[in-house]
Amino acid sequence: MFRSRPSGADEAPAPSALVGVGSSFHGTLMVHGTLRIDGEFEGDILDCDRLEIGEHGLMRADVEVKEAVIRGRVHGNIRALGVVEMKHGAHIEGDVAAVNVVMEAGVYFTGRCTMLDTGTEGVQIQTENPRARS
């Protein structure tokens, strides 16, 4: 007999940080967990496990994350240790490098897509601000 999953079993974790609709943030964010962008973001994102760009979100940044779900606009490169999901209506201008890439119909993507191994090409999540080392 088949059993259904409990409701909410496949839902994404609640965001640790949120840039809401109508908000704009320029700078560096260090987020342990999930970052959701529904407004505008430009800058650096450090130590982020999961990145979610909502359908009204706009991100101008190059990021390294464990996984990403894109529904809005991205101007920059995305590098992920796990999966990058590009949902219907997403607009990505930049390169994507990930172990797994999922692209739904109706996505605008211009850039290069590189499939990574989990071995030598695996992503190392940056935990300190690269500018702080200078």
DSSP 133: G
The whole-model pTM stands at: 0.78
**Residue 74 pLDDT class (50, 70, 90 cuts):** very high
71 burial (CB, 10 Å; 0-12 / 13-18 / 19+) is buried
Structure tokens at 117: 């191994």
Instruction: Give CA–CA dist 18/15, Å, rounded.
Output: 6
pLDDT in tens, 35-65: 999 999 999 998 899 999 999 999 999 999 9
pLDDT of residue 2: 44
The mean pLDDT of 56-76, rounded to a whole number, is: 96
